[in-house]
Amino acid sequence: MADVQLGAPSIAVVAGPRLAGRLHVRPRWLLARLGMMSFGLVLAVLTIEVVLHLLGPRLPGLYNLATFQRYHEVYGFFHRPGARGWVRTSEYTSYVQINSQGLRDREIAVPKPPGTYRVMVMGDSFVEGAQVALEQTLPRQLERQLGGGQGGQSRPLETINAGNAGFGTAQEMLFLEKDGPLYRPDLTILVFYLDNDAANNGVEIAKMLKIDTSHRPFFEVQADGKLHQLGMAPISPEPFGAVRDFLRNHSLLFNVYENLVTAKVSAKRYHAMRMDRDRNMYRIDPLPEWKAAWTVTEALLARAKRSAAAVGTELVVVAAPSQFQIYDDQWRALISGDREAQPGMYKRDAPNRQLAAAAEQAGVRYFDLLPGLREAAASSDVPLYFAEDGHWTAAGHAAAARLVAGYLREQGLDGSNK
């Protein structure tokens, strides 16, 4: 026993350094393996990023603007500053870039440069123009039509693209009140899309269509005739929101992931308000929910006029027709869906008449694009609207800009006499 006890320490003395050496080597080996794996992962991600940049508009998946927007405490949703990427459908491919101010435009100088005549164009996706290149959108083409400081223009002129997909009149009015003082426009154009903007203003229509109304601003006209804003519930902060926004702005791989996996969720969360292509908008005698929406629209336009005066800008409402109002075959296809329709129940210019009456009652300048766009469509084989998507093509934006520019010159609102 004594020999065994005496020998045991000697064994420990011999084995100790070997075991300690092994324990010392293993962590370094693991760290080396982890380092190689991390390097390989980073290299793979960088390689994929390079490939995606080379692919450009041929990125996998069909893209939409859901991930270009995020929650906004006033508007419900708004462009994410710095967002950029390709938008692709079966009809078009375009590149969209949002500036640091949340606009689909170049960087806008704040404060406004002295002597500049500034035109701010508000609206929904028709003004935003994600279906075409930025230079082809209504605001930029309008700038060129009006001279932009050249071609006889006596002073610098610039336009601002303040369009945001999914916006209604309420959000445009709030944008004028919140951001109007920042940009100090001399003229503000509110483009009203006749196919769904009135519906976007009607909370009862949204409820009837089972659309969430708690996360975007809605108004109602109370019994005393006053316009009242309904409560809007905030959206819970997005987990790792700052990290996600950084990746959205700098990683095409993350954008592909979001568009393939989460775009539908994002669209539902921020602005799921698809209200277009509804025959009820063209009823000569609107349904009760639509009558209420038009009443709210009139009140919103009246408040927008007061807000414009407070900012020091002139307000013009421009009626933008749908493709159903321009093309006979599409109108027939829309109306034929109602087999119980009575003769004379629908009229193509019914929303135009409603909007004209609302603008007159609110005391707002009004210009209707319908006659001019119908004439332009009849005289050209180039479509003004994407057949399936329903938005303006580059030719549609150009025709609208030409018509608006003509109206502004006639009214002395083109900045030449300012």
How high is the mean pLDDT in each 10-residue block of the chain (418 residues)? 42 48 63 77 72 60 61 93 84 92 97 96 97 97 85 78 96 98 98 96 92 91 95 79 74 67 48 65 94 97 98 97 96 85 89 98 98 97 96 98 98 86
298 with 210: CB under 8 angstroms?
no
d(CA 173, CA 169): 6
CB atoms within 10 A of CB 373: 22
With a CB cutoff of 8 Å and minimum separation 6, the contacts of 288 are 204
Q: How far is CA 91 from the centre of its chain?
A: 19
Rg (CA), the chain: 29
Kind of pairing, strands 76-79 and 69-72? Answer: antiparallel
Q: For residues 63, 67, 72 and 74, what is the CA-based torsion angle, rounded to 10 degrees? A: 0
Q: Give the C-alpha distances (Å, rounded to integers) separating 293 from 67, 181, 217, 320, 362.
A: 29, 28, 14, 18, 15
Q: Check: CB of residue 342 under 8 Å from CB of residue 208.
A: no
Cα–Cα distance measured from residue 216 to residue 209, given in angstroms and rounded to the nearest whole number: 15
Say if pTM beats, i.e. exceeds, 0.85: no
Q: pLDDT value at position 59?
A: 56
* pLDDT (0 to 100) of residue 82: 87
Amino acid at 13: V
**What are residue 409's phi and psi, to 5 degrees?**
-65, -45
